[in-house]
Amino acid sequence: MVVIHYTAMTTARAAADTLCNPDTEVSAHYLIAEDGEVLSLVPEAQRAWHAGAGAWGQVTDVNSRSIGIELANTGYTPFAAPQMDALTELLHGLKLRWDIRPERIIGHSDMAPGRKIDPGARFDWRRLALEGLSVWPSSAAGAPSSQENPQEADDARFVALMAAFGYTATPDPAVLLKSFRMRFRPRYNGPLDATDMAMITDLAGRFPVDVNAAWA
Which residues are designated catalytic?
Answer: 70
> Comparing C-alpha atoms, which of 66, 161, 158 is closest to residue 112?
66
Q: Which amino acid is at 146?
A: S
> Comparing C-alpha atoms, which of 53, 56, 4 is closest to residue 28?
4
Q: Which helix (H) or strand (E) holds 209?
A: none
Calculate ∠ Cα 113-168-106, nearest 5°.
60
> Comparing C-alpha atoms, which of 31, 26, 35 is closest to residue 16?
31
Beta bridge partners, 70, equal: 5, 31
